[in-house]
Chain A
Amino acid sequence: MNAETTDLSVAAKGISIREFNKYYGAFHALKNMSLEVSPGEFLVLLGPSGCGKSTALRMIAGLESITSGTLMIGDQDVSQVLPKYRDIAMVFQSYALYPHKTVGENIGFPLKVAKTPKAEMDAAILAAAEQVELETLLDRLPGQLSGGQRQRVALARAIIRRPSVFLMDEPLSNLDAKLRGNMRAELKHMQNSLGITTIYVTHDQIEAMTLAHRVAIMKDGELQQLGTPKEVYSNPENLFVAGFMGSPPMNFVEGAIANGVFTADGVSLPTNQLSDLSKVTLGFRPEDCTVVEKGQGQLDAQVFTLEMTGDQSLVTFRSGDKSMVVKMPKDFEIEPASYAGIAFDASHACFFDTDSGQRLRPS
């Protein structure tokens, strides 16, 4: 059987989510979410657990009803359509492989349900298995496979239907760290070559950054920011996104702006025409600053620890109950408990309204 005879690529469809709401009784799980996904795009829903990202995905899949709002796949309204008629495939966090079916039967199940002729089905199974390099394991049971292999079976079962949309619910979270890295690369490659519109849910920002064309960050059922990985990283819309993205996350200093100048304990920084506000948070990324001699930088603090991560050193400062982290080159040395200064590039600093959390922009 020749894999070339079975073409797995499809005409990708866009997805349009309009004012999604989900209530569980009185609990408002998803609040007015709107989102457009263009055909062939890889969109990642990112957020801490309980933020509603999985709920949103399950609503798109049709596993949860949509309390209010509209879901379009392509140019069709599928808000009330059963999952099997939505032309989607989903990869579950647990993979949801049928334990009593062999790898081949698992992959072929969607076709069996659709009553595909046997020969055609076998060809499709082989093609899908080759896509994920499983063709030698077709007769095994899922219980006899490693985690990574099970992951591939789940993927193969999803691609065999040639769906117009791919949904993935934390598909890599059950793998160990090294395998996760490999699978990430493979997923990206596969999505690229098949060109299927994909919505991917994760709480792991590295996955989001590496895989996504665009990232949608969610919190408490609300969409916080939508943009390319670069945008959400370097241009956070609010305090939550700033604090969530990046590892270690952004450093924050609380102060106030008066006469266009930000002031806090020992810090004084000119801002770019920001209007005055009494409670302002200044944020800057650990890699945008350096450790300098005491008194030489914008602020001084006491060194708490120095951590080596191999390719760099993380210096943690403590002042009061706040801590700040600075990324330094790997051969950097400093005495714990000594005092040092932190210097940062003011052009990369972000200012947020402490109360509302919103980013302050020049008016």
Chain B
Amino acid sequence: MGRLFLTPAVVLILVFSIFPLIASLVMAFTRIRFTGGGFKVRYVAWRNFDKQFFGSEQFHLLGTFGPLSILAWVVGLAATLGLFWWLYRYCRTHFTVVGFIGRLITFAMALFLAWLFAATLLSGRQFGTVGTTLFYVVVGCGLQFLIGTALAFACSQHIRGSRAFRVIFFVPMMITPIGVGYIFRMLADTSKGPFANVWQWAGLGDWSWATDPWAARIFITIADSWQWIPFVFIMMLAGFESVSKDLNEAAEIDGAGKWMTFREIIWPQVLPIAATVMLIRVIEAFKIVDLPNIMTAGGPGIATESVSLQSYYAWRSLDLGSASAIAYILLFITVVICVSFFNLVVLARVRAKP
């Protein structure tokens, strides 16, 4: 009887998640052409992926490659050596076959991304949507985590008006990403926005952040952080408040100051929660699509386009095969990175907790 309880969820997921996933995979290997009332499907093997990785869309997904600069060589080789050393150390200490295969996949992905980064950005060229998405994930999540944790810790102290702060800090999470995008576009307007006078004064009155790739990326990251810091805040606040008061007092009596108590007592306690929060944020951050679409439409050029957005644009131009292929590339990168993070960071932290 109780077994039936699970059925609706499984059926829903099979129909609306697993089946589309498989269908999408099939579509990634086909070319779909719309004709009159219906559409024609043709099997094209790896051609959709080929186009993204090596063909006409390479600049879009991966970026423009140029001759490697010295800096690129240094960073690339350093990353390679570091990764090899990491793998070697693992083999020497506690080797298992499954663990090794898993680490090998992580290793390959990290190596690929390191060299991609070296060959595009560090060699003075543009990176593509993969690089942009990673920028949103790494910089955005890092920023959100730092600020959210700091705010949560501040609010977990005995602060007057702590309840009001909590409510205020929580609000941005409620606002639709579309709204956040437009609000920040208003704010960022250099001639009519609230900071117009500041821009004029700085001699940037005619400058538009939307035309500078880095300014645009950073601006999207700020908007994204504005929206998602509340999430980190509320989870970390729950974490800080779950640390037993006795431990704080014991540390106080043992002579530890605020900073020492935080570093030695509180932080190790909330670390598993922090890792989980970070994982959730990273998973969500990989999906970013609304903000770049609203704020910059991916521009200038492709500077702020995320992989999701690229896939959406491919769909809009009715290239369903490419759209699915790009989506699958995103899925693959997300899964490898998130699973690696889960196994190497989250599980390690959770296990370390007695």
Contact = CB atoms under 8 A, between A and B. Distances in A.
A63 B250 CA distance: 10
B250 A83 contact: no
A83 B252 contact: yes
A158 to B, nearest CB: 9
B157 interface: no
B249 interface: yes
Interface in B235-282: 244, 246-247, 249-256, 260, 264-265, 268-269
Contact of A89 (B253, B264, B265, B353): B253
Contacts of B252: 63, 83-84
Contacts of B265: 98
Q: Name the interface size band of chain B.
A: 10 to 19
A74 interface: no
Identify which of A90, A141, A157, A161 gathers the most chain B CB atoms within 10 Å of its CB. A90
Given A92-B250, A142-B354, A143-B354, A100 B268 contact: yes
A96 B354 contact: no
Contacts of B352: 100
A181 interface: no
A92 B268 contact: no
Nearest to A167: B253
Contact of A96 (B247, B260, B264): B247
B269 A96 contact: no
B246 A96 contact: yes
Contacts of B256: 84, 109, 113
A92 B255 contact: no
Contact of B354 (A83, A88, A144, A161): A144
Residue from A62, A96, A98, A143 having most chain B Cβ neighbours under 10 A:
A96
A114 interface: yes
A61 interface: yes
Contacts of B249: 63, 90, 92, 96
Interface in A71-108: 83-84, 88-90, 92-94, 96, 98-100
A110 interface: yes
B288 to A, nearest CB: 34
A61 B253 contact: yes
A99 B254 contact: no
Scoring B249, B254, B265 by chain A CB atoms within 10 A of each residue's CB, the highest score goes to B254
Contact of A113 (B246, B255, B354): B255
Given A98-B247, A100-B354, A143-B354, A113 B254 contact: yes
Interface string B75-89: 000000000000000
A94 B250 CA distance: 10
B267 to A, nearest CB: 10
Interface of B: 244, 246-247, 249-256, 260, 264-265, 268-269, 352-354
Interface of A: 61-63, 83-84, 88-90, 92-94, 96, 98-100, 109-110, 112-114, 141-144, 157, 161
Query: Across chains A and B, which 5 residue pairs bring their CB atoms closest together, nearest first?
Result: A143-B354, A96-B250, A84-B255, A96-B246, A100-B268
